[in-house]
Amino acid sequence: MRKMAKDKLTHKNPVSRDMTDPNQTQKLAAKYGELYENEWIDAMHKLYSEKGEREKIDLLSAILKFCYSECERIADSQLSQLELVCFCLQSSYKQQEKLPEGSEAIKRNLLDAQHGASNFTKMAVVDIAKASLVKEKHLKDKAMQILLFTESCIEICWSMVTRHPRIFLFWPDVSKEKKINFEMFQAYTRSGDTVEYGVWPAMLLYKDGPLLRKGTVQPVAR
């Protein structure tokens, strides 16, 4: 009974479950901060753009968004394959194409297995995501030009999406005259309280969850 209670608690509390994990949540948040403070800045210096800084920022944002979305796709596919292997001996599973009734505990174990193996699968995911990225005509050349940034985005996004619930990237609302939420975002190079465009997303423990790392926005020029 004690073990069941502990398993239930740690499944609902990703910080608790990750206490012995080398990529535990707070360390991952620190790595996410380093991605912006180091690789992002280096990539900005390496990129050439006739249109200037804004175009480079938009490009790096597009690469990060693609990496996160692609890692989600890979993680979902991997989990489906794990479920299929686990239940392939049950004739009813093939017909239902979903987990049999009462198998949520097994699914939780599969989620934990996916998370536990994420460090071992990371490099394969980097290769898969890069192969997908080169099919994106508007991104492929620039993404390969700043390979360290691209690969770092994939690695960190993979660590995010193999946690349960998934760590969430929160992009700022850039609606007209939208006020900056300074609890979630810091200003980029200007002062002001109205968003002009997003620079870097905030990192949340899960969707609508607590903040792990602030994002960055560019305020409208005064």
Note the pLDDT tens digit of each residue in 36-87: 999 999 999 998 766 689 999 999 999 999 999 999 999 999 888 887 777 6
pLDDT recorded at residue 22:
40
The model's pTM is 0.82
97 in a domain, yes or no?
no
pLDDT for 129: 95
Of 152, 209, 205, the residue nearest 37 (C-alpha): 152
Residue 49 belongs to domain spanning: 23-88+103-166
Q: What pLDDT, in 10s, does the model give residues 21-31? A: 545 899 999 99
Instruction: Identify whether 208 is part of a domain.
Output: yes
Considering the domain architecture, whether residues 28 and 68 belong to the same structural domain is answered as: yes
Query: What local confidence, expressed as pLDDT, does residue 104 receive?
Result: 73
Distance between CA atoms of residues 218 and 125, nearest Å: 32
pLDDT value at 4 more than 50? no
Q: Is the pLDDT of residue 14 over 70?
A: no
220 falls in which pLDDT band (50, 70, 90)? Answer: very high
Q: How many residues does the chain have?
A: 222
Point out the domain boundary residue: 134, 150, 166.
166
For residues 197 and 169, the answer to whether their CB atoms sit within 8 Å is no
- CA–CA separation, 207 and 149 (whole Å): 24
Does residue 128 carry a pLDDT above 80?
yes
CA 187 – CA 200 distance, rounded (Å):
10
Q: Which of these, 166, 212, 169, 219, lies nearest to 190 by C-alpha position?
A: 219
pLDDT for the residue 59:
94
Last residue of a domain, one of 166, 188, 209: 166
* Residue at 1 is within a domain: no
Instruction: Quote the pLDDT of residue 130.
Output: 94
Q: Which segments within 36-159 are labelled E, that is strand?
A: none
pLDDT band at 8 (very low <50, low <70, confident <90, very high): very low
Is pLDDT of 13 > 90?
no
Domain membership of residue 64 (yes or no) is: yes
162 and 174 in a common domain: no
Domains held by the chain: number: 2
In a domain, 93, yes or no: no
- Do 82 and 139 lie in a common domain? yes
Q: Is the pLDDT of residue 117 over 70?
A: yes
User: pLDDT at residue 179 above 70?
Assistant: yes
Percent of the chain with pLDDT over 90: 56
Does residue 181 fall inside a structural domain?
yes
